[in-house]
Structure 1
Amino acid sequence: MSPTVFIFRQYRFFFFSREEPRRHVHVRSPDGEAKFWLEPVIELAINHRFPQRELKELELIIEDKADEIRKHWDDHFRT
């Protein structure tokens, strides 16, 4: 199961239900996929095909939505 946290333009922000316990979020679009750690700081973990400029934009989106992402994470994994 991979619950969607939100969709922004062509990007889907989500996480996998049965993955590592450290908070993180995946981002997928038709052009690539990436994984960002949410703690201890927001940083890129894995990148597949996104250029650096786009990664920086994604990081800014995640920073802006960090509280929402963490809430979704906590709500999902508490159940």
Structure 2
Amino acid sequence: MPTLLRWKGYRFFFYSADGWEPPHVHIIKDGREAKIWLRNLNVAVNFGFSARDLNEIIGAVREHRSAFLEAWNDYFGA
């Protein structure tokens, strides 16, 4: 489960078994977890983050999306 970024206590990563799904990133912090699709930045799953937290997370994903997609493609193959 490669870690892509640690930022403000959040950990951005993907699971090594996720290659069959469209590109996405998981985010965890303090026992909460979300999953964001990288193509359209939609929230796929949210377990415990507030709307404010999700807005902050989506902003970070937007900022790092190119690097996340590159890491995804390098790991799983384009």
TM-score by length of 1: 0.90
Q: Provide the rounded CA distance (Å) in 1 between the counterparts of 2:41 and 2:5.
A: 17
Query: Aligned residue for 2:21?
Result: 21
Number of aligned residues: 76
Query: Which structure 1 segments of 5+ residues have no match?
Result: none
Q: Residues 1-79 of structure 1 correspond to what in structure 2 (within 5 A)?
A: 2-19=1-18, 20-39=20-39, 41-78=40-77
Once the two structures are superposed, what CA deviation does each residue of 1:38-69 show, in whole Å capped at 9, x if it has no partner?
A: 12x11100000000011011000000000010
Shift of 1:21: 2.6
Q: Provide the rounded CA distance (Å) in 1 between the counterparts of 2:48 and 2:21.
A: 25
Q: What stretches of structure 1 move > 3 A for 4+ residues in a row?
A: none
Q: Provide the rounded CA distance (Å) in 1 between the counterparts of 2:4 and 2:61.
A: 11
Q: Provide the rounded CA distance (Å) in 2 between the counterparts of 1:35 and 1:76.
A: 18
Q: State whether residues 31 and 50 of structure 1, in contact with CA within 8 Å, keep that contact through their aligned partners in structure 2.
A: no
Once the two structures are superposed, what CA deviation does each residue of 1:4-54 show, in whole Å capped at 9, x if it has no partner?
A: 011112000000111233000000011411000112x11100000000011
Two-structure CA RMSD over aligned residues (Å): 1.0
Q: Provide the rounded CA distance (Å) in 2 between the counterparts of 1:9 and 1:53.
A: 14
